[in-house]
Structure 1
Amino acid sequence: MMKQDVIDGPDLAEMQHWTRLIGRAQQMILERSADLAERAFKIRSLEAHPNLEKIAEIQTQMAGKGMAMWEQFLARANPLAGNMETASPADLDRRFADPRWRDNPVFDLIRQIYLLASEYMLQLADSVDGLDVHEKEKLRFMTQRLVEAASPANFPFTNPLVVEKTIETRGENLLTGLQHLLTDLDRGQLTHTDGSKFELGRNIATTPGKVVHETPLYQLIQYGPTTQTVLETPLVIFPPWINRFYILDLNPQKSFVRWAVEQGLTVFMVSWKSADASLADIDLADYVDAQIDAIDAVRDLLEVPSVHTIGYCVAGTVLSATLALLAARGEADKVASATFFTAQVDFTQAGDLGLFVDDEQIALVDSLATEGFLDGRYLAATFNLLRGQDLIWNYVVNNYLLGNAYPEFDLLYWNGDTTNLPARWHHSYLADFYRDNRLAQPGGLMIHDVPIDLRLVKTPAYIQAGIEDHIAPACSVWKIMDYFAGERRFVLAGSGHIAGVVNPPAARKYQYWTSEAPQASFEAFRKAAQENKGSWWPDWMQWLRDHNAAEVDATGARIPGTGKFTAIEEAPGRYVRMR
């Protein structure tokens, strides 16, 4: 096949050949789909069975769509038929956005057959009766992942961009792609960006500060002030230990840390140590103790009665337990406010991650842990799978098939900078939180022999969720509102788990929704909420000031390393560099 053929397309004889060939391919796909579905029915449950009436209806619909597709394909070979092309759902699919998928009738047919077969498989999965909700969602999830993997865009000879690139480069793209693949196999991880372009402390995680406190589990970074006065109450940020803290300090333009410092806050950041064998016995109580230790360290250093706190994702989940423990001990006044970034406390609507949590899956995860910790690359693969098209197959095409150079993107560098988790903690997190939902049950968890009851928490809380969050769905994050007893403000941000949080005002991106009147449910909030353009960060800052606007001079212990805690090292510290 020459490049010109790829652009102009086949003649009538070739069209007839492709009609027979692809017709057989379509039949094979449908037969294979039915076979896979039948196996899934048998494996999932003895009670599960296909709904034959639904399947007959689906097949009738697919036959009609297939006939229309063939008619359009054959019409393109008839010069007397004129232009009979109509808009197709395939035109809206980002995988097939390049016009070369439409310009060539064969590739146009390939993509439409694929989408028709995909629709058939997904509807077939939905036609199973006798499964509980969890099993049915799991079946659909796995079917969707199979459908994504089978896309013709993912294979060299059914992707017109790859065919053309291979001809142009005389196969050099495939050789480069093979080198990329072999390198990733050695790393045990899919590469998303050129890691050699980033260096912690030089062009990423650059906000000036010093490590002023350290334990075997975390380092505490204090950032230097940029204003003459600062708010009296400092801020302690607890990032998730599933990833590195610098998601909140990617670069000066995106950095939440730098922005908060510029607003007159004294900011402290916890940098968690990536787990090794020395942390094998770490559990929930240890993370709660670490949060309290950081809170007390800052109170002691600055001689203040309380601190503002932020808990991001899993660190927010644990922060809720920390607040409940402090309340039970009569020490709730150590925390002036608590902000939750995309955090969950009730996991009944925890999204697709919940599909990975049952006894079988937990046992599998446990088997992957060695020397008392779980390699972070397994977690990265799981999170990538949740957005397989964006974080897996998109890069398979670009890196391995097209052989393109890696982009320079700080967010992707952070995404690939994995951390290990203590195996004991990770097992507990999956079993106690996701599977058994014990945090949401009064007394369901015990920390230092104290029953944890979220209803005791009266600390003012600012709760942020992302409208497109696939890790912590907004409806799940909302549930904090149902448990805490104090003042609560819920804010729904545009975008998802990362971009919904990391959205600096200067970018003028997205929007957020608020409701000044109390709402009884997430659904009621969505109906009543008012949309606001841009970042929610200023709304949060005003909320903090409304609780305590008192200021002090940015001198003495407000400058890192000059108080009773001497500087251990420059930010971002060595824990964030440990692998």
Structure 2
Amino acid sequence: MTDETTTTVPSLEDWQHWALVMARANQMIMEAWADNLAKGKEMPGFGLPVPHATNDPMAWMTAGAEAWSKGLDAWSKVLGHYSAAGESKDRRFASPEWRDDPIFDTVRQSYLAISDKLIGTVEEIDGLDDPARNRLRFATQGFVDAMSPANFVATNPEVMKRTIDTKGENLLAGLKNMLDDISKGQVTQSPEGAFELGRDLATTPGKVIYETTLFQLIQYSPTTDQVLETPLVIFPPWINRFYILDLTPKKSFVRWCVEQGVTLFMVSWKSADESIRDIMMDDYVAAQEQAVDVVRDLLGVKSVHTIGYCVAGTTLAATLAYLAAEKKADKVASVTFLTAQVDFEDPGDLKLFVGDETLTTLQQLTAETGVLDGRVMAATFNLLRGRDLIWNYVVNNYLLGKEPAPFDLLHWNGDVTNLPGEWHRDYLDRLYRQNLMIQPGAMSVLGVPIDLGKIETPAYIQAGREDHIAPAPSVWKLTRILKGPNRFVLAGSGHIAGVVNPPAAEKYQYWTSDEPASTLQEFIAYSTEHKGSWWPDWIEWVKGLNGKKVKAEGARVPGEGKLKPIEDAPGRYVRTR
């Protein structure tokens, strides 16, 4: 941006246009207020900055940036001398204007340097215990991300340029986007209508062959002449939709498994409503055993392979401990834990959300219906990655006035599920706060005290190196708790991309080791890195347990056994909010 452009005087026509922009913005706000009041909703006040009709927009931009620069200078005096940050791949400052204009280049470098200083100061403060330091670190990172100059019209040169180029139409479009998001209660991360279940996502052919008030059981159609004798039952987390494992065909773990000759069944949990408000851990454990028994009976097999993803893996550990105590462990031939925790001593940043105030708030939110709105959980997970999952969309959707790009993973992320309120509070209290699951006999399931140390089922344990929801060191502890043989695999990336990593993508990597290790650090020291997906390693492990195959006929085909189809996959439950 040159001096010539910043001193251009707008014409009378320009001022008239900006006045119209202001009028339209006010009208949109008033209409949104009226619409929500008519529906009995409350809406917060709005503070979206738009150019004032009596100010030169370009001068306003320069003044805003200079004011920000002076503010950063004041921060530097408080924190001490700082050095300008070096070049960064930070997506917030990818636009060339951040470097081409000296003022904005100074703002960018100063902000990055002060951010580093603020975050570094947290580690230098004496007298803080680990929980207090973790809380301060999280709060500081949130503050730093929120105060980025990229998040404000007057200090984001890309936004200001677009504002001038469109004569404010971007801010009007952004205001509409913001009002729409406020109305629906969550930030739009992928445009509505871009994906449809059964058409773009969750397209692997199959049938719902069994259902209860809590779950549907999907059986997928075989694509090979022969299949592994031992079938697989997958338990996805009930806090999300199961189709994270059946995204687009190229990303689908379900489709890939079927192509490997696996007879696969998927549990699709029902999004909670008042009819299941009283569901607790016993009910989820009973449901997992029930699904296993239905498959065993349908196919006439002694046992099944199982997968538990995230919280469903935690509950699956309780189920296996219960089966072991009841002398029924032979129902399950193997268990695969995907980013699942059972020891919650150090579960990562989610532990910051299990204090007394949080549980009290949850009690208040669920007092009337007994159900926790899934948007509450979604907001919590978004806060864990606020820069990418909140502020990125504030800038793109509200300031630039653009629609977010269609993205299957983020469509799934926004497709929230409701939770039984009391069960969710109980989960946070007994597991995250009291860490009872790893204490033998401290918890009972279906009236039976459980001990995870009694689980002898062969286990495949997968963790994500960059997982911020189930940190790898926490997942690793499963290897020290379970009694049976286990294989630990550390995958590149995080909680989702580390799991949903098809071999054809040739992305990331994973580490394995056959050397004994007592800590994750030892495992890493001894491990071998493999490029690409861990999926082939997993299927070879499964086949190594029992590679016997049978013809893909009869009950191996959905609807041709004793259980008749209820409806086509992906079923009703996954579509119900």
TM-score scaled by length of structure 2: 0.87
Contact 1:210–1:572 at 8 Å: present in 2 too? yes
The verdict on how the C-alpha distance between 1:358 and 1:243 changes in structure 2, with shifts beyond 3 A counting, is same
Please list, as runs of the form range in 1=range in 2, the aligned pairs for 1:126-275 lying within 5 A after superposition: 126-275=123-272
User: Partners in 2 of 1:453 and 1:134 — Cα distance?
Assistant: 28
Q: Does the residue aligned with 2:88 lie in a helix, a strand or coil?
A: helix
Looking at structure 1, the residues matched to 188 and 94 of structure 2 have their Cα atoms a distance apart, in angstroms, of 24
Distance 1:102 1:131, change over 3 A: same
CA–CA distance in structure 2, aligned partners of residues 270 and 23 of structure 1: 54
1:378-427 Cα offsets, whole Å, 9 max, x none, are: 10000000001111101111111111122111111000000001011101
Taking the aligned partners of 2:242 and 2:321, their CA distance within structure 1 comes to: 24
Q: Is the 8 A contact 1:157 1:163 kept in 2?
A: yes
Shift of 1:449: 2.0
For 2:435 and 2:320, the matched residues in 1 are separated by: 18
Mapped to 2, the partners of 1:92 and 1:563 lie a distance apart of: 55
What CA RMSD, in Å, does the superposition of the two structures yield over aligned residues? 2.1
In structure 2, C-alpha distance between the alignment counterparts of 1:528 and 1:310, rounded to whole Å? 27
Deviation at 1:448, TM superposition (A): 2.0
Offset of residue 127 of structure 1: 4.5
Identify the residue that residue 81 of structure 2 maps to in structure 1.
Answer: 63
Q: Deviations over 1:47-84 (max 9, x none)?
A: xxxxxxxxxxxx4xx3253xxx5xxxxxxxxxxxxxxx
Which letter maps to 1:398? Answer: N
Amino acid at match of 2:277: A
Partner residue in 2 for 1:513: 511
Question: Whole-Å Cα distance in 2 between the matches of residues 459 and 17 of structure 1?
Answer: 66
Match of 1:298 in 2: 295
Which residue of 2 is the match for residue 5 of structure 1? 5
Structure 1 residue identity aligned to 2:313: G
Shift of 1:3: 9.4
Q: 1:549 to 1:7 in 2, by over 3 A?
A: farther
Cα separation, 2, equivalents of 1:130 and 1:517: 39
Map of 2:523 onto structure 1: 525
What is the Cα deviation at residue 136 of structure 1?
Answer: 1.6
**TM-aligned CA distance change 1:23 to 1:400, over 3 Å:** closer
Measured against aligned partners, the alpha-carbon deviations of 1:286-316 in whole angstroms (never above 9, x if no partner) come to 1000000000000010010000000000000
CA contact (8 A) 1:460 1:488 kept: yes
Give the counterpart letter for 1:412 in structure 2: L
Q: Determine if the alignment matches structure 1 residue 349 to structure 2 residue 342.
A: no
For residues 518-541 of structure 1, what are the alpha-carbon distances to aligned partners after superposition, in whole Å with 9 as ceiling and x for unaligned? Answer: 222111001000001111111110
- Cα distance in structure 2, aligned partners of 1:200 and 1:63: 54
SS in 2 for 1:413: helix
Shift of 1:96: 1.4
Identify if the C-alpha distance between structure 1 residues 3 and 447 changes in structure 2 by more than 3 Å, giving closer, same or farther. farther
Give the match for residue 550 of structure 2: 552
Aligned to 1:93: 90
- Is 1:393 paired with 2:411? no
User: Quick one: which amino acid aligns to residue 436 of structure 1?
Assistant: Q
Structural mapping, 1:382-461, within 5 Å? 382-461=380-459
Q: Is the 8 A contact 1:241 1:419 kept in 2?
A: yes
- Match status 1:118 vs 2:164: no
CA distance in 2, matches of 1:274, 1:429: 17
**Aligned counterpart, 1:380:** 378
Q: Does the 8 Å CA contact 2:64/2:154 hold for their aligned counterparts?
A: no
Preserved contact between residue 90 and residue 96 of structure 1 (Cα < 8 Å): no
2:33 is matched with none
SS at match of 1:441: coil
Distance 2:143 2:65 in 1: 25
Distance of 2:480 and 2:66 partners within structure 1: 60
CA distance in 2 between counterparts of 1:457 and 1:21 reads 62
**Equivalent-residue separation in structure 1 for 2:64 and 2:475 (angstroms):** 51
Kept after mapping to 2: 8 A contact 1:205/1:250: yes
Work out the CA distance in 2 between the residues paired with 1:24 and 1:576.
Answer: 52
Q: Which residue does 2:72 correspond to in 1?
A: 26
Query: Which residue type is aligned with residue 289 of structure 1?
Result: A
Counterpart amino acid of 2:516?
P
Deviation string, structure 1 residues 164-209 (Cα, Å, up to 9, x no partner): 1111111111111111101000100000011212111111100000
Residue 486 (structure 1) aligned with residue 484 (structure 2) = yes
Q: Is the 8 A contact 1:7 1:100 kept in 2?
A: no
Distance 2:242 2:339 in 1: 15
Contact 1:456–1:484 (CA under 8 A) maintained in structure 2? yes
Percent same amino acid among aligned pairs? 59
Equivalent pair of 2:203/2:570 in contact (CA under 8 Å): yes
Query: After superposition, where does 1:534-549 map in structure 2 within 5 Å?
Result: 534-549=532-547
> Using the alignment, how far apart are the partners of 2:529 and 2:520 within structure 1?
15
Relative distance call for 1:376 and 1:7 in structure 2 (3 A) is: farther
Moved more, 136-145 or 324-333: 136-145
CA–CA distance in structure 1, aligned partners of residues 555 and 64 of structure 2: 76
The corresponding residue for 2:32 is: none
Q: SS state of the match for residue 278, structure 2?
A: coil
Alignment partners' CA distance in 2, 1:461 and 1:347: 19
Report the AA paired with residue 282 of structure 2.
A
Q: Unaligned regions of 5+ residues in structure 2, if any? A: 9-59
- Residue 18 (structure 1) shift: 9.5
Q: Structure 1 residues 23, 263: closer, same or farther in 2, change over 3 A? A: closer
3-state SS in 2 of match to 1:427: helix
1:335-361: CA deviation from partner (whole Å, max 9, x where unpaired): 000001100010112111111112222
For residue 463 of structure 1, what is the amino acid of its counterpart? I
Structure 1 position 92, deviation (Å): 3.9
Structure 1 residues 4, 335: closer, same or farther in 2, change over 3 A?
Answer: farther
Instruction: Give secondary structure in 1 for the equivalent of 2:422.
Output: helix
Please tell me whether the aligned partners of residues 351 and 470 of structure 1 are also in contact (alpha carbons under 8 angstroms). Answer: yes
| Residues 321-360 of structure 1: pairs in structure 2 closer than 5 A | 321-360=318-357
Q: What is the letter of the counterpart of residue 238 of structure 1?
A: F
For 2:494, the aligned partner's letter is G
Residues 90 and 111 in structure 1, CA contact (< 8 A), matched pair in contact too:
no
Partner amino acid for 1:234? Answer: P
TM-aligned CA distance change 1:521 to 1:561, over 3 Å: same
**Partners in 2 of 1:23 and 1:335 — Cα distance?**
62
Q: Distance in 2 between matches of 1:375 and 1:505?
A: 36
| 1:197 counterpart SS class | coil
Q: For the structure 1 residues 382 and 19, does the alpha-carbon distance in structure 2 shift closer, same or farther, using more than 3 Å as the test?
A: closer
- Whole-Å separation in 1 of the counterparts to 2:257 and 2:392: 35
CA displacement at 1:28 relative to structure 2 = 5.0
3-state SS of 2:158 partner: helix
